[in-house]
Amino acid sequence: MDIDLLSNIFYAMIRCGTPLLLVALGELICEKSGVLNLGQEGMMLFGAVIGFIVAFNSGNLWLGVLLAMAAGMLLSALFALVALVFNANQVATGLALTIFGVGLSSFVGAAWVGKPLAGFEPLAIPYLSDIPLIGRMLFAQDLLVYLSFALFALVAWVIVKSRVGLIIQAVGENPDAASAMGLPVLRVRTLAVLFGGAMAGLAGAYLSLAYTPMWAENMSAGRGWIALALVVFASWRVWRLLLGAYLFGLASILHLVAQGLGLAIPSSLLAMLPYAATIVVLVLLSRDAVRTRLYAPVSLGQPWQAGH
């Protein structure tokens, strides 16, 4: 394997891992605050379609990105209303959000399938992008990928270093104690859910404006679900999330590797790989029930109401 191929694989790995990273960062904050939102796939698709339509009509990619995030937030607000205010089962509400988002995005986007769009172009940073092997991977990406690096740094800082991070985790670990301390539990959770929605919308916009600049039904192809598995994989720790996202990115570009090595494996078999990898990873990590319980936010997925 020559160095060009390797550098290409690294480059594609980051590109493939970026949407996963974005969704997973949003879901991580959400789960840290004790809310399990299974609607990532739906929010991502809705973000993708809104981002595409806006960018296509206005000719402004960033406006598309912005409204995609707003679209994701809108759906997550619905989730927050039903799951947090009305106290419905979070698993069922998340599923409903995904089914709704898939339907809504196909409905809204029906007239836009297959339309061409000039999406985000890679922007090479001079000199740095010439570093062998990792230069292209880190410094010749498009702007949304750079944004994802920045957002990762932000989320990592918030969780590890900031007071906001402590508040979010207090609410997720023990909402009763947090509430007794005077923390507004429901408001924190709602904001966390909204943040998750915005990130899912952004990930959707990345898919429809940068990764493959077009709209196709179900174009997220289960990435929202893989991101959920990623959070478990990372044991709710932010650095392992980064690692996991790019590992899964690598798993989904293995067909490139296979081509590079001259192997002839049918594409539909290779397409199974990220999903199979997800299962394997889940098995490896969940085998130890005690460990999973140790790292998971204690009140994850449990409804909570003031004054109980």
Partner 1 sequence: MLLSLEPRGQQSRLMLWCSPLLAAVLTLGCGSLLFAVLGHDPLQTLYTLLIAPISDLYGVSEWLVKALPILLCALGLAVAYQARIWNIGAEGQLLLGALAGSAVAVNIIDMQSRWALVLILLTGTLAGAAWAGLTAWLRTRFNANEILTSIMLNYIALNLLLFCVHGPLKDPAGFNFPESAMFGDASRLPLLVEDGRLHAGLYFALLALVAVWVLLQKSFVGFQIKVLGLDARAAGFAGFRQKPLVWLALLISGALAGLAGVCEVTGPIGQLVPQVSPGYGYAAITVAFLGRLNPIGILFASLLMALLYIGGESAQMSLNLPQAITQLFQGMMLFFLLACDVLILYRPRLNLRWARRTRTTAVQAGAL
- What would the two tokens of residue 166 be? 């402590």
Token digits of residue 205: 């916009």
Q: How far is the CB of 124 from partner 1 (least distance, A)?
A: 34
Smaller CB distance to partner 1: residue 123 or 282?
A: 282
Q: Which C-beta is closer to partner 1: that of 29 or that of 229?
A: 229
Least separation in angstroms between CB 136 and partner 1: 30
Q: How far is the CB of 188 from partner 1 (least distance, A)?
A: 19
Which residues are near partner 1 by CB under 8 A?
A: 38, 42, 78, 81-82, 86-89, 91-93, 95-97, 99-104, 106-107, 110-111, 217, 221-222, 225-226, 228-229, 232, 266, 268-269, 271-272, 275-276, 278-279, 282-283, 286-287, 289, 292
Residue 116 DSSP symbol = -
CB of 37 to partner 1, least distance (A): 12
Least distance to partner 1, CB of residue 107, Å: 4
Residue among 83 and 170 whose Cβ is closer to partner 1: 83
Residue 57 burial by Cβ neighbours in a 10 Å radius (0-12, 13-18, 19+): exposed
Closest to partner 1 by CB, 7 vs 98, is 98
What span, in angstroms and rounded, lies between the C-alpha atoms of 74 and 104? 13
For 136, the token pair is 């292209």
Contacts of 228 (CB under 8 A, 6+ apart): 24, 27, 38, 40
- Provide the phi-psi class of 41: left if phi over 0, else alpha when psi is between -120 and 50, else beta: alpha
